[in-house]
Amino acid sequence: MKRRDFIKLSLAAGSAILLPDFTYAATLDLSQIQFSSYDTNKAQTLIIFLYGGASQLAGNLTNMDEIKTHSQSDYESYFGDMTKTTNNCWKEAGGSDMETLLGNGDMTIFRSCYSAVRETEDNKAHRLCTLQNQLGTFDTDDGAGGVLSNLAQILEANNVVNVDTLMPFVTMEGESKFYKQGGSPVPSYLKPVGINEDVDNPYKRESIRRWYYYTEAERESAPDSYWKSDDEGGFDPALTAKMDILAQHHNSPGKIKDIFARRKSMSDFMENVLTSSTPDLGDDAYPTNNHFAKKVETAMKLLINNPDTKVLTLGTGSLGGWDDHNEARDYVDRMQNLFATLKSAMAHLKAAGKEQTINIMVFGEFGRNVNLNSAKGWDHGNLQNLYVLGGKGYFNHKGIVGGTKVVQTGEVNRLYLYPKDNTYWFEPLSIAATLYKIYGVENPEVMTDGYGVIEPLFS
């Protein structure tokens, strides 16, 4: 039996998780990937990563009564109202907008993204958990590539993207581990391009239309306008292009050379794609005077206007971090802000007719302990929510999936949510598997330590 068939059969038998370790490798082996078609879904994804590890309580107050009885600090005297919505979301922390999204069939909240592996390995560290989630594997050695680095190579190998594809991967958070290069080199054009919400264009070079950059012949060809803007008849001096060519000839292979090679096209991209307008979204308009909303709006414009972009990643720095060890009151406003923006983003997708193809995934490295500690915050936990929006052409939204129970460990400050008995739950690596799947990978578990896709999204 071929190795590939063995894996397939095991999956069919529902026993992928029992496969021996040697079946999976952190290093991408393209020969192991079964790829069907990108065109079936034409998926595009916005990943919003909640760095610091967001509390799951905004989307899950199911166990709140029990939590309150065990918590070190009193929830209500600190947070005030904690109103439960119909689906037990936290109304004041974005719950109303969550209900709207759930009611429209636009979103699924998974309440049991939990890691049994981390429980065993005694791991609740930011850096390692972030790395694992962004690499899609617990094997975080040097050879492991990031989820999006792997996806880029798979799409290239299957002719979905090529050197003419315009910015297939875009980041608004710097180069996270999603893009970590694994054992094999990733071509320059597959590496992520950075943008920001201000449509600021750092790729554009200023001060090159000074008169001494031009030859006399160039100046004489348009004596009244050569230095002006393109619209006014200006043009770049030939010298600057010659400089680029010669410098690139001398530059050693590597990231800096790659960036210089792409500078001009990125500059044009910034000028053209991001200046497009957002349709009138009426009551669902993006929140104003809000950096995060501006970021998401820019991300949506880019995905809508440039189908070549397959994935865009976005951190939530402009919302503040989610590592709420103390003074967690801000969390309520942050969540409110996040979901008001996501509601607008869904409206934006619908207005553009893209809710079938574009999806949004929101998650972090882990969730949080539910004890409100002495500093009025939450320490690290091991269960989080995954919010999945849009992508309705390939995702079946189920509303709320998964239930939780409270576990009191007996130690001070160690009060956690765990998956309820017999409920659906999944390891965080299944998020990576799901992502691979919607782009056409039929056996994503070969890259995710055997953990398969989040089945309810596809059933």
Partner 1 sequence: MQQTIRTIKSMVGIVLFTILGFTYSASGATLDEQGKTVIMVMMDDITLPLIVDKPVPDTTPPAEPHFTISPPSTTYEKSALVEISGEAGSTIYLNSHKIATIGSSGKSIIELDTSGENGNKTFQIVLKDRAGNTSKPLVFTIKKVDDPKYNTEYKGLTLYHKPMDHSAYKLAQLSDADFNALTAAQKRKVADTLLSTLFFAYPLHTLEEKINSGHFVSSVYNGLHEERTDKEWLESYILDDDIFRQYSQWYDPQAITILSRFYAMKELDSYFFKHWSAYILTQTVMFSPAYELESTHTPDIGNVYNRIFHFLDDDAGMRFITYVHMMSEENWRRFRSPEDNGREMLEIFQNDMEDSHVPIAAQALKNWKLNTDGDTLEVGLNDNTEPLHLFGTIIQNGDDFYRELVKTDRFAKTVSRRLVDFFFPDATESKRVQITNAIVSSHPETWQDILLQIIFSKEYLLHNKRTKSAEETFYSFAKKLHFLHRRNSFYIFKEYLDRMHQATMKYKLGKIERVPLDTFSFAYYHKFLREQILVRRSYPDKIDDYDAWGRQGWSKEFVTFDKFAYDENNLEQSLENFINYIFKATIAREATPDELALFKEHMLYEDDEGNTQFEYTFNMFATYDNPDKQATKREERKGYTAILVLDYISRLEETYTQKEVH
Q: How far is the CB of 171 from partner 1 (least distance, A)?
A: 6
What type of residue is 108? T
The binder of partner 1 chosen from 13, 212, 223, 288 (CB under 8 A): 212
Q: What is the DSSP string of 187-209?
A: PGGGSPEE--TT---TTSPPS--
3-class secondary structure, 282: helix
- Find out whether 145 and 449 touch, Cβ atoms under 8 Å: no
| Binding window for partner 1 (CB under 8 A); candidates: 107-115, 145-153, 206-214, 445-453 | 206-214
Structure tokens at 315: 């951190």
What type of residue is 334? R
User: Contact between 333 and partner 1 (CB under 8 A)?
Assistant: no
| Binding window for partner 1 (CB under 8 A); candidates: 38-46, 57-65, 80-88, 201-209 | 201-209
Q: How far is CA 351 from the centre of its chain?
A: 22
- Find out whether 384 and 113 touch, Cβ atoms under 8 Å: yes
Going by C-beta distance under 8 Å and a sequence separation of 6 or more, which residues neighbour residue 218? 226, 235, 237, 238
The binder of partner 1 chosen from 244, 284, 333, 442 (CB under 8 A): 244
The binder of partner 1 chosen from 66, 99, 139, 175 (CB under 8 A): 175
Q: How far is the CB of 402 from partner 1 (least distance, A)?
A: 23
In this complex, which beta carbon is closest to partner 1, that of residue 39 or of residue 206?
206
Q: What binding mask, one character per residue, do residues 123-152 give for partner 1 by CB under 8 A, x or -?
A: xxxxxx-------------x----------
- Of 53, 43, 41, 38, the C-alpha closest to 362 is 53
User: Contact between 203 and partner 1 (CB under 8 A)?
Assistant: yes
User: Contact between 218 and partner 1 (CB under 8 A)?
Assistant: no
In this complex, which beta carbon is closest to partner 1, that of residue 22 or of residue 212?
212
User: Contact between 116 and partner 1 (CB under 8 A)?
Assistant: no
- Find out whether 417 and 8 touch, Cβ atoms under 8 Å: no
The binder of partner 1 chosen from 62, 171, 316, 434 (CB under 8 A): 171
- Find out whether 34 and 5 touch, Cβ atoms under 8 Å: no
Chain positions 273 to 332 lying near partner 1, rule: CB under 8 A, are: 317, 320-321, 323, 325-327, 330
